[in-house]
Chains A and B, each alone.
Chain A
Amino acid sequence: MGSTSAENNGTAGVGRRDLIKRSAALGLISVPTMSFLAACASGGGDDNSSGNDEGKTSKSNPFGAKKGTKLDVVIFKGGYGDDYAKAWEADYEKKLGITSTHTGTQEITGKLQPRFNAGNPPDIVDDSGAQQIKVDVLYKNGQLLDLAPVLDAPSVDDPSKKVRDMLIPGTLDPGVQEGKVVALNYIYTVWGLWYSGKLFKEKGWEPPKTWDDFIKICQEAKKAGIGGLAHQGKYPYYINVAIMDMIAKKGGIDAVKAIDNLKPNAFVGSAAAQAGVEAIYEVVEKGLLMPGTNGLTHTESQTRWNQYKAAFITCGSWLENEQLKQTPSDFDMKFLPMPLLPDSKMPFEAIRAGSGEPFIIPAKAKNLPGAKEFMRHMLSKEWSTLFAKQANSLTILKDGVDASVKLRPGTQSTVEASKAAGDNTFRYLYPDWYSEMDTAIQNASNELMAKRIQPKEWLKRCQAAVDKQAADPASKKNVHE
């Protein structure tokens, strides 16, 4: 230890130890706030100097995308990878002579927030994943282009038709903010239960159509020493799929709309909501969950399910691609719509289906014509097939996969389920509109699954979240019709 001390230094000023201590104190102040401040420091003004040099428009080039220009493409590199986008970009360059700068990343927020703030965003973005910038947030900041011109342009495959008429009905809905389509949710997803065809064959179980049969299979599974229902508990998003689907099927589309439109009886006083949540709670109460599933991450619980540790799991149709490596080759992954409660308004075949993976065009993009033309091509059969090949998934283009592509068993079963469902599909829009309300409902579901609250309290909490959102005047502009 040294021997200088501040007290003895007299007029000489700050002693060495004091200096060290003070700088340590400064550090104490600055460190916790540091990461936040880095995000907060803004890049200055909003000059709108977009060099949107438009070329000549023509029938085959309705936006006048100009040869020799550059396109800045940012793709979320998650479960679907980004090879499909590279294939598109190569084709785009070949056809239109527009070269793309490609960025494949998981850090959408980290990479793009500063660019949006500084007014130099990319031209087209796949804004997805855990670190997406929420579409409602971007929209409220006036950063998104209204995609109507793209959707009303002639289709690449059949110029006599508009692009929007070539899409599966309803798939544009989740990208709507206050009546405008501002995000193109490109991938067609179905949500529900999943099981192993092999396990069910071995045990002689029939895929259940009613809730009673579902509970019976869970009980038999329990007897056989495996769990009934698994869910990705660390992310209560997933069990919400099951709960909210039960509510929708029991109460019909009106129950869905009541929640999306923030009705005062969306949860409390809704017989469908009560029946739906009580059904899921029955699984908890009878001890039919896979042990420990409430605390597992999505990969942990999905992998357990792949190891035949549970009969069912709840998920969307990205499951198969996500679990490619963990799934045994003879697993025979199968999709199942949520089983029905008695007196349900929707048939068994009804499923939550719709589009995911929002693609956006920033309003301040430098090459708007190029971006619009790119999106128009995304909705062609050729590019949709490229996607199905590279990413094992369907797009929102009607009949959008060339017959030459052979699908995996899980994806194949979703195609069949979609066909069987026909027009009986539904979709909640509140998660895309109200992140905060969605979070509160997820939180309540987490407590429900851990048996810390009962269905009655769950309904109360969800209603409180709805009421809180309804009090925000901005929410009046969103209507699920």
Chain B
Amino acid sequence: MRKGQYRFVAGFLFAPVLLYVVFVIWPYIQTFGYSLTDWKGQSQTFKFVGFANYRALFHDDVFMQAIWHNIQFLVFIPVITILLALFFAFMLNAGGRSKAGGVQGVAGSKVYKIVYFFPQVLSLAILAVLFNAVYRSDGGGLLNGALIKIHLVDPDNPVEWLNEPHIVLWALMVAVIWQGVGFYLVLFSAAMQSIPKDIYEAALIDGANRNQSFFRITLPLLWDTVQTAWVYLGIIAMDMFVLVSSMTQNMGAYGGGPDHHSDVMATVMMRNFLYFGKSGYACAMGVVMLLLTLILSVFTLRVTRRERIEF
């Protein structure tokens, strides 16, 4: 490097690093400190209790169940969202009838692209309101209303979607996926458009069909983007706080019902932190969440590492 360049770089980095240390790293350290105490959340008086909070945590059925729900989200949300988004993106960019002279998307692909993106502009709060109306537990709900009309559901016994232990997680996933697909579709489309058309045309000449060109050309060249999408969707799956707390049956506070069947780590933590006044204990949950996400991100990046293809 040229002389002075380090100082130049350091000058630019100093402010953000300082901010990062003060607002991210330091709170982490504080959280860990609090997790070793019986802090009750509303004053600065507490006793040191060692690892008692952590020991209690592993016997806390509700929290263990919550971890399991996050893992289920972690498996299904990214897989389904990415598959749908890839499928749609491929259809919009390269899935059209192959005419002489090139590869193109299905008819009207530009309109679809915009329509698919609509849900992404909704905030999570609005998404919750919208899907609360869809899943509403009486005849006034969109799903129940429609099913009653076609006599699939008895009007006296409508399906309480969000109050059914075996449905509630899926109901939440549908909402998240519905919102997410559009964004990843656009992301994947952009990546696909940067794949040179001549590669496809060459494949076409060699007699590749749609499946082959997708699996042999599109997917390998998109791998980096898919990996990024996976990380982002992982973030969503590990969180889920807003939807769970504003859509599901109330377990004291922050949703999580019925019978904790939709509780995620974040809702259990907040309930303990504020509603039960077990803030030190909640901090221990926070630290466990941190560790889990750390492991997850390292794992994700390792597993998806592949050789890159340059073009």
Which residues of A pack against B, CB within 8 Å?
A: 1, 3, 5, 7, 17, 20-21, 24-25, 27-33, 35-42, 44-46, 109, 113, 116-117, 119, 130, 133-134, 136-138, 140-143, 233-237, 287, 290-296, 300, 304, 435-436, 438-439, 442-443, 446-447, 450, 452
Q: Is A46 within 8 A of B191, CB to CB?
A: no
Which residues of the other chain, B, contact A130 by a CB distance below 8 angstroms? Answer: 253
With both beta carbons as reference points, the residue of chain A lying nearest to B164 in the complex is identified as: A450
User: Which of B43, B270, B274 has the most chain A CB atoms closer than 10 A to its own CB?
Assistant: B43
Q: Are A33 and B286 in contact (CB under 8 A)?
A: yes
Interface residues on chain B, size class: 35 or more
Interface 0/1 of B151-187, CB less than 8 Å to A:
0000111101111010000000000000000000000
State the Cβ distance, A56 to closest chain B Cβ, in Å.
32
Known: A141-B40, A287-B156, A452-B258. A24 touches B270 (CB 8 A): no
List 27 A-B pairs, Cβ < 8 Å. A25-B231, A27-B235, A28-B238, A32-B238, A39-B273, A39-B274, A42-B44, A46-B44, A113-B274, A116-B42, A116-B43, A134-B275, A137-B41, A140-B277, A141-B42, A142-B43, A236-B250, A291-B155, A292-B141, A293-B138, A294-B163, A295-B136, A295-B137, A295-B161, A442-B251, A446-B249, A447-B259
From A28, A42, A116, residue with most partner B Cβ within 10 Å: A28
Determine the residue in chain B with the shortest Cβ distance to A40. Answer: B31
Report A370 CB to chain B, min CB distance, Å.
Answer: 23
Contacts of A294 in B (CB 8 A): 137, 160, 163
Inter-chain contacts of B163 with A (CB < 8 A): 233, 294-295, 446, 450
Q: Closest residue to A222 on the B side, CB-wise?
A: B156
Q: Is the CB of A25 within 8 A of B297?
A: yes
Do B293 and A28 touch (CB < 8 A)? yes
Contact check, B162 vs A295: say whether CB atoms are below 8 A apart. Answer: yes
Task: Tell me which residues across on chain B come within 8 A of A3, comparing CB atoms.
Answer: 310-311
B258, A447: Cβ atoms under 8 Å? yes
Contact B259 A1 (CB under 8 A): no
Interchain CB contact under 8 A, B194 and A1: yes
Residues in B with CB closer than 8 Å to A38 are 27
Set of chain A residues within 8 Å of B293, measured between Cβ atoms: 28-29, 32-33
A287–B30 Cα distance when bound, in Å, is: 53
Q: Judge whether B308 is part of the interface by a CB distance below 8 angstroms.
A: yes
**Could you tell me which B residues sit within 8 Å of A by CB distance?**
24, 26-28, 30-31, 34, 40-45, 135-141, 144, 155-158, 160-163, 165, 191, 194-195, 221, 224, 227-228, 231-232, 234-235, 238-239, 241, 249-253, 257-260, 265-266, 269-271, 273-277, 279, 282-283, 286, 289-290, 293-294, 296-298, 300-301, 308, 310-311
Interfacial chain B residues near A31, Cβ < 8 Å: 235, 239
State the Cβ distance, B251 to closest chain A Cβ, in Å. 6
Question: What DSSP secondary structure best describes chain B's contact surface?
Answer: helix
Q: Known contacts A28-B293, A296-B138; can you find 4 more A-B pairs with CB under 8 A?
A: A1-B191, A32-B235, A143-B42, A296-B136
> How far apart sit A358 and B290, CA to CA, in the bound complex (Å)?
37
- A296 to B279: give the CA distance in the assembly, Å: 31
Q: Are A29 and B297 in contact (CB under 8 A)?
A: yes
Chain B residues in 8 Å Cβ range of A293: 137-138
B239 — which chain A residues lie within 8 A by C-beta?
31-32
Q: Among the listed B30, B138, B161, which residue makes an inter-chain contact with A291, where contact means beta carbons less than 8 Å apart?
A: B138
Checking A25, A133, A438, A452 against B42 with a beta-carbon cut-off of 8 angstroms, the contacting residue is A133
Task: Find out whether the CB atom of A33 lies under 8 angstroms from the CB atom of B289.
Answer: yes
Is A36 within 8 A of B270, CB to CB? Answer: yes
Contact A295 B160 (CB under 8 A): yes
For A233, list chain B residues within 8 Å (CB).
137, 160, 163, 249
Asked whether, in the complex, the Cβ of A36 is within 8 Å of the Cβ of B260, the reply is no
Once A40-B286, A141-B41, A141-B45 are accepted as A-B contacts, the answer to whether A29 and B156 lie under 8 Å apart by CB is no
CA distance A8 to B193 in the complex (A): 25
Beta-carbon contact of B27 and A41 below 8 Å: yes
The residue on A at minimum CB distance from B156 is A291
> Whole-angstrom distance between the alpha carbons of A17 and B228 in the complex?
10
Give the distance to chain B from A218, nearest Cβ to Cβ, in Å.
13
What are the 7 A-B residue pairs with the smallest beta carbon separation, nearest first? A295-B137, A292-B138, A439-B252, A137-B277, A141-B43, A141-B42, A295-B160
C-alpha gap A296/B132 in the complex (Å) = 10
Chain B residues, Cβ within 8 Å of A5: 308, 310
In the complex, what residues of A have CB within 8 A of residue B273's CB? 36, 39-40
- How far is A450 from B261 in the complex, measured between Cα atoms in Å? 14
Residues of A within 8 A of B257 (CB): 236, 443, 446
> Do A17 and B224 touch (CB < 8 A)?
yes
Cα-based distance from A30 to B253 in the complex (angstroms): 24
Do B311 and A1 touch across chains, with their CB atoms under 8 A apart? yes
Instruction: Tell me whether B286 and A37 are in contact (CB under 8 A).
Output: yes
How far is it, in angstroms, between the C-alpha of A37 and the C-alpha of B26 when the chains are bound? 10
Rounded to whole angstroms, the CA-CA distance of A27 and B191 in the bound complex is 22
Q: How far is the CB of B191 from chain A (nearest CB, A)?
A: 7
- CB pair A292–B249 under 8 Å, yes or no, is no
Query: Residues of B contacting A142 with CB < 8 Å?
Result: 43, 45
Partner of A41, one of B30, B137, B224, B275: B30
Between A233, A291, A295, the greatest number of chain B beta carbons within 10 A of the residue's beta carbon is seen for: A295
Beyond A25-B231, A32-B266, A304-B138, whether A234 also contacts B42 by CB under 8 A is no
Q: How far is the CA of A50 from the CA of B274 in the complex (A)?
A: 26
Contacts of B162 in A (CB 8 A): 295
| Residues of chain B with a CB closer than 8 A to A133's CB | 42, 274
